A and B are shown apart, each in its own frame.
Chain A
Amino acid sequence: MYSAQIEKFLKAKKISIGDRVKVGQYEGILMPRIELGDTSSLVIKLDNGYNIGVKFDKSMKKVKTEWRVEKPQAKTGVTKIVFDKKLPTISIIGTGGTIASKVDYKTGGTSASFLAEDIAKQVPDLKEIANIRAWQIMEMASEDMVPDTWVEIAKAVAEEINQGSKGIIVTHGTDTLHYTAAALSFLLKDLPVPVAVVGSQRSSDRGSSDTVQNVSCAANFVANSDVAEVCTVLHGSVNDDFCFAIRGTKSRKMHTSRRDAFKAVNDAPIAKIWWQDKRIEILNSYKKRNDKKVLVDGKIETKVALVKFFVGMDPDVLDFYKKYKGIVIEGTGLGHVATRSKLSLIPKIGKMIKAGIPVVMTSQTIYGRTHPSVYRNLRTLSELGVIFVEDMLPETAYIKLMHILPKARNVEDVKKLMQTNMVGEITERTEVVSSE
């Protein structure tokens, strides 16, 4: 947006974005101001394609109209792309995020306008893998999602499975992609086919985008593998060579920007999917495809919080959660919080548990298993009734707690359900693997 003075001038002179204009000695196309910066400078596109900032000046004149800004038309419903009738049909459900964002070459603006259909068209080897049903259900940056969004996505996935799709790809922003993957793992009951939650770390308009490999590998995985689980499917290394399919409850974004940001935490990836030669190597046990009808268990308790303990934390912070139905704490190490210092959280946690609010303990080390009794401080917490959830990721524990609260009759039920593996969120044993 330009400054009010410029906007007013443009209106009066009937100059629009996309008009060829003359300002002082410069001539070019008037561009929208899409970035911050000096709103009193005009952005002009020169004939060689470069944009420059030009000081606004009232001698500005329109030369002619070059183009008009067109509002992108919102598409609704499912688009079918049939390459070959012999190929299986899979669905791509679009939700938004970097994978869906592209620059408008005319205006230079970036928007989540790269729909499921466009993504499908951008991946050339899809035609060798599957026929596509593309369905854009929302356009949302993943950090803007709320727990109800997961239910909405789960319903769309179930609908596509029940009308016959052999596998589902959900395209998603990467920031909270692992939340959605974990949520779908719990919400989709009796899942009969693979579901891949896919994102990209480099936007789809770039020649170097990781979208192409990620979507190609995901399509191969959901069309051809026997894994009937929710997985994240993204780059497995910084090379463009393979993707990892990681169990939705065990996957986490561990880097702000690398394409191999998603790691299998406390678990091996389920599969390694080679991009070029389309090989799928199975690396872990998994649930097999079946003929069941998928159901969505959409009942979730959203009054749940994930709280990180930190050195110097004021115990009064916990007072805020008194009205909550349950909290997950990210403790230190094996699952500690301040216990015997003057900032001990013990009294407040005790009060919450007494009031019937389940308190679940995970670790901020992310990797490794919590333990209820190695240290005295741990025993104190454990005796208080804090629920230690083994090697479950904090975000997964938070989502699982939301999921089970409507089903549990009392805190004992919560404890039992939280400590029982449902969809791979808890492993019984930790395999010896090299860390990276």
Chain B
Amino acid sequence: MFHLSEDYSKLGLKAGLELHVQLDTGKKLFCNCSTKMKEKQPIEIVERKLHPVASELGTVDQAAQFEFLKGRTFYYQAFKGESCLVDLDEEPIHPLNSEALTVALQVSLLFNCKIPSEIQVMRKTVIDGSNTSGFQRTAVVGLNGYLEFRGKNVPISQISLEEDACAIIGEEDGRVMYKLNRLGVPLVEVSTGLLVGYTPEEIQEIAYMIGITCRSTGKMKHGIGSIRQDMNVSITKGARVEIKGVQELGIMAKIVEGEVKRQMIEKAKEETRTVLPDGNTKYMRPLPGASRMYPETDIPPVPVNTKYLAEIKKSLPEPLTKKLQRFEKELKLSQQLAKEILRSDYVEVFEKVKGVEPSIVASTFTNVVKDLERSGVEISNITDENFMDLFNNLAERKIAKEAIPDILRMLAENNTKKISEVAKKLGFTTLTHAELDKIIRETVKPDMPFNKAIGIVMSKVRGKADAQTVIKAVKKFLATSA
């Protein structure tokens, strides 16, 4: 086995990141379909072919395109409310979603970017069938910004607003099946400049920071697939290789390390590679050039006037560093917990919860959720509304915090249930003082040692009363009955 020295700067490690984050706008970028992606049953499946596009690329590329496309037929599943004739390439696009543009401009400003005076939507040729049109629509909304990271400015070269592509379901014998509901969901793409002098771990950390910064607008989707990432990686003796489709930020460092190793062993070519489940990569296609871009002629460019920009500046969310400080000082979270909640998918819901001790909420969204996920619970079935409901019940003392893991587990399995119903079903409704006293009277003998008494009562009332209340009541009982 080949062992790599840790000195990445000596190897000349250079990387570039492209993060794609889905926006949680009500409607898609160029039509009025929902972006929920909840439907399971397709209402229609449409069959399509794509053709090589003449005059765009050289003849050689065209021949390659033709060979690739000849054997391929694409099938698109349409979903009620989530895909329309625009998605099917059967109707011209509607005007650019202004809510999405506002969020994208917010992101641009958060990364200190310059904003063009006019936004021109471009068509970027894509022939893998993931876009029914044969191209992806994308527009530059910010340029030449930076992200503060450990005292340095990481260059953010470009922010684009784009339409997401179809999600692939499967491929067999040249037949490729896609779902149309993800097509057209707005994405913000954040591209860094060349990252030189960073270790793989630092590169991963930068990706995290970019993600969190986008999230701070409160308008990003969360859950699996809501952030996807492409990377360029090269070392001095290798070549610039694009790695596409990293869905988990946590394996980035590993991918960079792996690619560096690969480039040291193999003779690397400039190409696009895709990530395998083990974090290694495989060849996907040659690197595309600027020549595959041309303007979207169905809608005019969108001007960004100073008044509009001023309004967006006013509505900018709190910067991350300030938010972190506030979480520590005002909400009394430990630095560790504050960082974790800031990174989690739930920071927006976390901030909405009122009347519950912040550390309980934060650790629910970090530790509890992680533990449940590890044990196989499908946390994505639990909506933000469910969480709000949960904490409202907690705030009103209708449930005890000890009951949270069990309630969440049940919720994930029956995601339509109300918290009060789930709690009732699990027997987790909080006991009244009289009910608690009754249980104490029945189970605790007046001469029992305090710790033993607490143990007995807690085992009886777990999840129905919080520990502090039980301790108080038992103390009182022992004191008065002695």
Contact = CB atoms under 8 A, between A and B. Distances in A.
B311 interface: no
A49 interface: yes
Contact of B133 (A25, A38, A52, A206): A206
B144 interface: yes
Interface string A168-201: 0000000000000000000000000000000001
A208 B133 contact: yes
Which of A41, A48, A258: most chain B CB closer than 10 A? Answer: A48
Interface string A13-50: 00000000000011000000011111001010011111
Interface string B451-467: 00000000000000000
A55 B117 contact: yes
Given A110-B297, A202-B89, A239 B303 contact: no
A202 B123 CA distance: 14
A107 B134 CA distance: 20
B135 interface: yes
Contacts, number: 135
A49 B47 contact: no
Nearest to B290: A49
Interface in A190-236: 201-202, 205-209, 212-213
A54 B294 contact: no
A305 to B, nearest CB: 31
B465 to A, nearest CB: 61
Interface string A94-123: 000000001101001010000000100110
Interface in B257-305: 289-295, 297, 300-303
Does more than half of chain A's interface fall in helix, strand or loop, or is it mixed? loop
Contacts of A258: 85, 90-91
Contacts of A241: 47
Contacts of A108: 294-295, 297
B226 interface: no
B297 A38 contact: no
A225 B55 CA distance: 33
Contacts of B302: 37
Given A37-B303, A124-B66, A105 B119 contact: no
A55 B125 CA distance: 28
B50 A207 contact: yes
B49 interface: yes
Given A46-B140, A238-B90, A41 B294 contact: no
A350 to B, nearest CB: 45
Interface string A233-247: 000001111000000
Given A49-B290, A49-B291, A118 B54 contact: yes
Contact of B122 (A37, A49, A122, A202): A49
B114 A25 contact: yes
Interface in B405-460: none
A257 interface: yes
A110 B123 CA distance: 13
A346 B88 CA distance: 48
B46 interface: yes
Interface residues of A, number: 45
B66 A49 contact: no
Contacts of A49: 122, 124, 289-293
Nearest to B116: A52
**Most B-side CB within 10 Å, residue of A52, A105, A213:** A52
Contacts of B39: none
Contacts of B70: 124
A121 B53 CA distance: 11
A371 interface: no
A100 to B, nearest CB: 13
Interface in B46-72: 46-56, 66, 70
A38 B49 CA distance: 37
B120 interface: yes
Contacts of B192: none
Given A207-B51, A207-B53, A53 B85 contact: no
Contacts of A336: none
B92 interface: yes
B120 A238 contact: no
Interface string B218-243: 00000000000000000000000000
B90 to A, nearest CB: 5
B118 A53 contact: yes
A35 B300 contact: yes
A369 interface: no
B92 A257 contact: yes
Given A46-B140, A50-B139, 7 more contacts: A37-B300, A41-B303, A43-B301, A53-B116, A53-B303, A207-B135, A258-B85
**Lowest 10 A-B CB distances belong to which pairs?**
A53-B118, A207-B134, A49-B293, A49-B290, A52-B116, A108-B295, A239-B47, A51-B120, A55-B117, A37-B301
